[in-house]
């Protein structure tokens, strides 16, 4: 009688491992995909201006424009149709002054656009950036005293702007000025103003970066003197980035943001392990500008490179990606799922 021999224990040597088994077909690759993007996690930055029917193209951000409120609503409608998660508003005022007083003007471009967007009733999260740099004549993110940005004199101005945006319908306010204590000051003012339900997405770790220049062209917010290294972080410092995030958690942030995205992937990995808040990454203007410039020359495939970059940002730990590619990426995902 034949006996079935017990199978010999198989020694798996490195040479006999075959990871390629799971790469054989598109269906297998899809089954084992470790990071999936969805349109709902993308947030589109929108630049808003006063007036009606205005759309002024931004040279260094192809496909993007400064929009009046009515045009912003039309754009938002498109984004909602694509399933994009939200919009992040930046205002460009008609007049700038030393104190950036336009930031808290209830008739300014951001509150006006927020009211129009609210009225449109779209299934989009409405977020508003809170900073003075677009509103100050000198382009710095706070008021100047003795040639420096005065942290504590800036806080009430940021808080005031945040309350105005909340009143105009913002779901989320995003303080981006890197002033110490800005999250606490804004939380307190929001609560005091009855806006307990308005969330704060803190630009917690925001580096002084060369990658913001297209944005500054769009917003006319390049500093007239000096630079932002006295308040934005040194990109060399990972532990300081963690400390900034820790502080914003304690001050009451609801979402932590890391910026720029590609130069901070390590910070995203660390932050997603350490904090239990949703984590956002801002794929900034200069990062997309590199891609656009190379694609325009035929040096990179825009879609393939774009999806690869966004996937890396999410793989590193971002739940939310603020990106100028939001609409295109949503379309790319639709195309790929239709195949
Ligand atoms: C305002 C602000 C900036 C960006 C977001 N909020 C500019 C800056 O800090 O100079 C940059 C965003 C981008 O480059 O896309 N403080």
pLDDT digits 0-9 by tens, 316-332: 999 999 999 999 999 99
Residue with tokens 């694609």: 295
Q: How far is the CA of 189 from the centre of ligand 1 (A)?
A: 23
Catalytic residue, from 75, 96, 206, 273: name it. 206
Which residue of 131, 140, 220, 322 sits with most ligand 1 atoms within 8 Å of its CB, as the best mutation to test the pocket? 131
State whether the beta carbon of 215 lies less than 6 angstroms from ligand 1: yes
Asked if residue 154 belongs to a domain, the reply is yes
- Whether 206 is a known active-site residue: answer yes
DSSP letters, 139-197, are --SS-EETTEE-HHHHHHHHHHHHHHHHHHT-SEEEE-S--TTHHHHHHHHHHHTT-TT
DSSP letters, 195-226, are -TT-EEEEEEEEB--GGGHHHHHHHT---SSS
Which residue of 136, 212, 232, 326 sits with most ligand 1 atoms within 8 Å of its CB, as the best mutation to test the pocket? 212
Q: How far apart are CA 201 and CA 192, in angstroms?
A: 18
Q: What is the model's pLDDT at position 259? A: 98
Q: What is the model's pLDDT at position 5? A: 67
Q: How far apart are CA 192 and CA 196, in angstroms?
A: 8
| Residue located nearest, by CA, to atom 2 of ligand 1 | 176
Q: How far is the CA of 207 from the centre of ligand 1 (A)?
A: 10
Catalytic residue, from 33, 259, 273, 303: name it. 259
- Mean per-residue pLDDT for 74-80? 98
Asked if residue 145 belongs to a domain, the reply is yes
State whether the beta carbon of 136 lies less than 6 angstroms from ligand 1: no
Which CATH number fits the domain that encloses residue 289?
A: 3.20.20.70
Which H helix or E strand runs over 307? helix 302-315
Q: How confident is the model at residue 227 (pLDDT cuts 50, 70, 90)?
A: very high
User: Which atom of ligand 1 is nearest the CA belonging to 45?
Assistant: 15
Q: What is the model's pLDDT at position 15? A: 76
Overall number of domains in the chain: 1
* The total number of residues written for the chain in this structure: 339
**Do residues 209 and 284 lie in contact, with contact meaning Cβ atoms separated by under 8 Å?**
yes
Asked if residue 15 belongs to a domain, the reply is no
Cis peptide before 275 (omega within 30 of 0): no
- Mean per-residue pLDDT for 176-190? 97
User: Between vectors from CA 64 to CA 178 and to CA 125, what angle results, nearest 5°?
Assistant: 60
Helices (H) and strands (E) in the chain, counts: 11, 12
Asked if residue 20 belongs to a domain, the reply is no
Structure tokens belonging to residue 304? 């393939």
Residue among 277, 267, 260, 279 nearest 241 (CA) = 267
**Do residues 125 and 172 lie in contact, with contact meaning Cβ atoms separated by under 8 Å?**
yes
pLDDT digits (tens, 9 = 90+) for 247-300: 999 999 999 999 999 999 999 999 999 999 999 999 999 999 999 999 999 999
Q: Is the pLDDT of residue 149 over 60?
A: yes
Q: What is the model's pLDDT at position 200? A: 98
| Residue located nearest, by CA, to atom 10 of ligand 1 | 212
What does residue 323 show for φ and ψ, rounded to 5 degrees? -150, 140
Q: What is the model's pLDDT at position 145? A: 95
Report the chain's mean pLDDT, rounded to a whole number.
Answer: 95
Q: What is the model's pLDDT at position 85? A: 98
Which H helix or E strand runs over 253? none
User: Between vectors from CA 252 to CA 109 and to CA 310, what angle results, nearest 5°?
Assistant: 65
- Mean per-residue pLDDT for 8-29? 86
User: Which atom of ligand 1 is nearest the CA belonging to 285?
Assistant: 15
How many CB atoms sit inside 10 A of residue 281's CB? 29
Asked if residue 21 belongs to a domain, the reply is no
Q: How far is the CA of 239 from the centre of ligand 1 (A)?
A: 22
Asked if residue 169 belongs to a domain, the reply is yes
Burial of 48 (0-12, 13-18, 19+ CB in 10 A): buried
CB-side exposure of 247: number of CA atoms within 13 Å? 17
- Mean per-residue pLDDT for 177-190? 97
Q: What is the model's pLDDT at position 16? A: 83
Q: What is the model's pLDDT at position 337? A: 87
Q: How far apart are CA 267 and CA 286, in angstroms?
A: 19
Asked if residue 5 belongs to a domain, the reply is no
Asked if residue 14 belongs to a domain, the reply is no
Q: Is the pLDDT of residue 11 over 70?
A: no
Domain region containing 76: 37-338
Q: How confident is the model at residue 179 (pLDDT cuts 50, 70, 90)?
A: very high
Q: How far is the CA of 203 from the centre of ligand 1 (A)?
A: 10
Q: Is the pLDDT of residue 315 over 80?
A: yes
């Amino acid at each position: 009688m034949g006996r079935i021999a017990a199978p010999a224990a198989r020694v798996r040597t490195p040479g006999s491992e075959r990871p390629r088994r799971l790469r054989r077909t598109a269906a297998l690759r899809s089954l084992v995909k470790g990071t999936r993007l969805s349109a709902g996690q993308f947030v589109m930055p929108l630049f808003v201006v006063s007036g009606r029917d205005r759309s002024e193209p931004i040279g260094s951000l192809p496909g993007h424009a400064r929009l009046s409120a009515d045009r912003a609503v039309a754009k938002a409608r498109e984004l909602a149709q694509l399933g994009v998660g939200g919009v992040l508003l930046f205002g460009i005022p008609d007049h700038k002054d030393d104190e950036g007083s336009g930031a808290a003007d209830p008739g300014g471009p951001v509150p006006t656009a927020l009211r129009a967007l609210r009225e449109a009733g779209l299934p989009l999260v409405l977020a508003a950036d809170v900073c003075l740099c677009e509103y100050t004549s000198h382009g710095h993110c706070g008021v100047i005293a003795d040639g420096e940005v005065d942290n504590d004199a800036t806080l009430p101005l940021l808080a005031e702007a945040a309350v105005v945006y909340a009143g105009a319908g913002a779901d989320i306010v995003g303080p981006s000025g890197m002033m110490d204590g800005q999250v606490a000051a804004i939380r307190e003012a929001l609560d005091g103003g009855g806006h307990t339900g308005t969330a704060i997405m803190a630009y917690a770790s925001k580096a002084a970066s060369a990658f913001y220049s297209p944005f500054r062209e769009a917003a006319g917010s390049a500093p007239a003197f000096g630079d932002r290294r006295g308040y934005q972080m040194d990109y060399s410092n990972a532990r300081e980035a963690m400390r900034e995030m820790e502080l914003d958690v304690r001050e009451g942030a609801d979402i932590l943001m890391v910026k720029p995205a590609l130069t901070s992937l390590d910070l995203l990995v660390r932050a997603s392990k350490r904090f239990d808040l949703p984590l956002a990454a801002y794929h900034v203007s200069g990062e997309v500008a590199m891609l656009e410039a190379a694609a325009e020359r035929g040096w990179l495939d825009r879609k393939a490179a774009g999806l690869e970059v966004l996937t890396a940002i999410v793989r590193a730990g971002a739940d939310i990606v603020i990106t100028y590619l939001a609409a295109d990426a949503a379309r790319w995902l639709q195309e790929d799922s239709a195949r």
